[in-house]
Amino acid sequence: MSQQNPIFIPGPTNIPEVLRKAVDMPTLDHRSSQFAGILQPALAGVKKVLKTETGSVFLFPSTGTGGWEMAITNTLSPGDKVLVARNGMFSHRWIDMCQRHGLNVTVIETPWGAGLPADRYEEALSADTGHQIKAVLATHNETATGVVSDIKAIRAAMDRAGHPALFLVDGVSSIGSMDFRMEEWGVDIAVTGSQKGFMLPAGLAILGVSPKARAAVETATLPRTFFDLRDMEKGYSANGFPYTPPVGLMNGLKTACDMLLDEGLENVFARHRRIADGVRAATSAWGLELCAKRPEWQSDTVSAIRTPEGFNATHIVTHAAEVYGMAFGVGLGVVAGKVFRIGHLGQLTDAMALSGIATAEMVMADLGLEIELGSGVAAAQAVYRHGNTTQKREAA
């Protein structure tokens, strides 16, 4: 596969050259005062991206999966009840992790392709009059199906039920790319990773932790050592780390936050929405449908595109890689072989998106699907065009 082509998987994402250089740095003594110049700006930058004033940020050498484990082991005890909806592969994996840790998991089964049902969360929480449920878990953006859920609505459901449970949210494929308001939405732990919206290599679990979640750490008894938030907090107080930190990745994170904030978060979100709109327009022009069943559930970071019944969508991904050197995402779990995924997050522009859309068209035509070459590209161009600049100059 050519390394010159952009990738269109939903993570890891394309790495900007400036971030590649930020990560590629000489060895630094992480016990020296120089480390503080990387650590503290990285923590402060993430707080701004998460839109939290009172929360604290923690960085662990890991991925989003490790962030899930940190969230539950630092706040819960064996046998604790948790409430979570399953609507895709990644919500399923978080459920599996909770069960392996000996938690009592109540699962709200939700169709793959649907958003998380705030009303069913509220129903379950209202019925829990003894407040046995200690945590509510929600996946903001289900990467397997290209479905985004309304986290604000789930917080409102918790509030209407008058329930004191912690609110833990997986924002791995949304934070840094779509609007996420930790403070406003009452999120107690927000989990993400370095390899998606922050445009870095995999290797950092990034978490925002509210004061309420921090207080729960003192009574939680699930085992943790490497992921003990208290050890990390103690290290931060001395501008250090409880063990050897991934200094290069953290330097990259500091730079990534600067890039996002310099662009302006609202501009970042608008760019992702526009690129996603182009992919959605192309999908419609191809006569195909998204896995997301309603427009409000359509993700701005990844589109899972359904192929016709009886066609193995995985062939699109393998053919694109082998023939055109382009990477798309395969379907996972229940939708394996039924969808292929176009990731459109991180370092992407309209022009880069067009290259992915054009390649997907060629692949589908090669494989015998009734796709008119140029149809999806033209539909996306109608979204991406900024107008006829020649006419604008003449008018001026």
> H/E element holding 274?
helix 265-285
Structure tokens at 226: 């490497």
Over the chain (396 residues), the average pLDDT of each successive run of 10 is: 82 95 92 92 98 98 97 98 96 97 98 98 98 98 97 98 98 98 98 98 98 98 97 94 95 98 98 98 98 98 97 98 96 96 96 97 97 97 79 46
**Residue for token digits 């596969």?**
1
Six token digits for residue 386: 């900024």
d(CA 8, CA 100): 33
Paired residues of 167 in beta bridges: 136
* Chain CA centroid to CA 390, Å: 39
- 357 Cβ neighbours under 8 A, 6+ residues apart: 278, 279, 282, 342, 376, 377, 380
Written as one letter, the residue type at 130 is G
The secondary structure element, H or E, covering residue 118 is: helix 118-127
pLDDT score for 1 = 58
Residue 141 structure tokens: 């953006």
Task: Write down the residue that tokens 């699930």 correspond to.
Answer: 222
Measure CA of the first residue to CA of the last residue in the chain; give whole Å.
46
CA distance 282 to 367: 18
What's the pLDDT at 338? Answer: 97
Residues 344 and 363: their CA atoms lie apart, in Å, by 18
pLDDT at 393: 44
61 CB contacts (<8 Å, ≥6 apart)?
A: 203, 204, 205, 245, 246, 249
**Cβ(129)–Cβ(275) below 8 Å:** no
What is the per-residue pLDDT for 89? 94
Domains and CATH numbers, the chain: 17-262 (3.40.640.10), 265-389 (3.90.1150.10)
